[in-house]
Structure 1
Amino acid sequence: MHSPQLSGMPRGTRDYSLADDVAKHEQLMERVQALREEAQPTRDEILNCIDHLLEPQASQVLELKFIDDVPMKEIEAELYMSTRTVKRWYAKGIELITLPSDYEPLNSKASVGD
Structure 2
Amino acid sequence: MSNEQFEDVIDALDDLLEAERAALLVGDLDEIGRLLERKEGLIDELAALDAADAEPLEALNAKVKRNQALLDQALEGIRAVSKRLAELRRVRNSLETYDEKGERHQIDVSPDSSLEKRA
For Structure 1 versus Structure 2, the TM-score category normalised by the shorter chain is 0.3 to 0.5
- Max Rg structure: 2
- Name the one with the larger strand percent: 2
More helix by share: 2
